[in-house]
Amino acid sequence: MPSHLMATEGNFFSVPSPVGTNLPPLAVGSAYARRYRKLPGIVAATFGDGGASSTPDFHAAMNFASVYNLPVLFVCENNRWAISLPYEKQSKVEVWKKAEAYGMPGAKVDGNDFIRTYRVCREAVEYVRSGRGGPYLVEAVSYRMGPHSTSDDPSKYRDNAIEEGGSDQDPLVIAEKSLIALGYITKEKSEKLWEEAKKLVDSRFEELEKVPAPQSRGRSSMTSTRR
Ligand SMILES: Cc1ncc(C[n+]2csc(CCOP(=O)(O)OP(=O)(O)O)c2C)c(N)n1
Ligand SMILES: [Mg+2]
What CATH number is associated with residue 141?
A: 3.40.50.970
Query: Are 87 and 116 in the same domain?
Result: yes
- pLDDT of the chain, 227 residues: tens digit per residue: 777 888 989 899 888 889 999 899 999 999 999 999 999 999 999 999 987 888 999 999 999 999 999 999 999 999 999 999 999 999 999 999 999 999 999 999 999 999 999 999 999 999 999 987 799 999 999 988 889 988 999 989 987 656 555 667 788 889 999 999 999 999 999 999 999 999 999 999 999 999 998 887 665 544 444 43
144 catalytic residue (yes or no): yes
Query: Are 181 and 138 in the same domain?
Result: no
51 CB within 6 A, ligand 1: yes
Domain annotation covers residue 222 = no
Give 19 Cα–ligand 1 centroid separation in angstroms.
6
Query: Are 176 and 141 in the same domain?
Result: no
Domain annotation covers residue 189 = yes
Query: Are 78 and 169 in the same domain?
Result: no
125 CB within 6 A, ligand 1: no
Domain annotation covers residue 221 = no
Query: Are 145 and 172 in the same domain?
Result: no
157 catalytic residue (yes or no): yes
Q: Ligand 1: which atom is nearest the Cα of residue 21?
A: 1
Domain annotation covers residue 14 = yes
CB-based contacts of 25, cutoff 8 Å, min separation 6: none
Which domain range does residue 37 map to?
Answer: 1-149
> Length of the chain in residues, anyone?
227
The predicted structure's pLDDT at residue 221: 47
Query: Are 65 and 168 in the same domain?
Result: no
Q: Is the dihedral of CA 27, 28, 33, 38 positive or negative?
A: positive
Tell me which of 132, 157, 158, 217 is the catalytic residue: 157
Query: Are 3 and 112 in the same domain?
Result: yes
Q: Is the dihedral of CA 171, 174, 180, 184 positive or negative?
A: negative
Query: Are 121 and 33 in the same domain?
Result: yes
From 149, 176, 201, give the residue that closes a domain.
149
The predicted structure's pLDDT at residue 37: 95
Q: Whose CA is nearest to atom 21 of ligand 1?
A: 148
Considering every ligand atom shown, identify the ligand nearest to the alpha carbon of residue 51 and give its number: 1
Query: Are 177 and 139 in the same domain?
Result: no
122 catalytic residue (yes or no): no
Query: Are 80 and 136 in the same domain?
Result: yes
Domain annotation covers residue 200 = yes
The predicted structure's pLDDT at residue 172: 87
Domain annotation covers residue 218 = no
- The per-residue DSSP string of 127-185 comes to HHHHTSS--EEEEEE----S-SSTT--GGGT-S-HHHHH-GGG-HHHHHHHHHHHTTSS
Domain annotation covers residue 225 = no
Q: How far apart are the first and last CA of the chain?
A: 27
Give 169 Cα–ligand 1 centroid separation in angstroms.
24
Task: Quote the number of domains for the chain.
Answer: 2
Query: Are 112 and 187 in the same domain?
Result: no
The predicted structure's pLDDT at residue 223: 45
78/75 Cα distance (integer angstroms): 9
Query: Are 112 and 69 in the same domain?
Result: yes
148 CB within 6 A, ligand 1: yes
10-14 own/partner pairs: CB under 8 Å, 24+ apart: 11/41
Q: Ligand 1: which atom is nearest the Cα of residue 17?
A: 25
Domain annotation covers residue 166 = yes
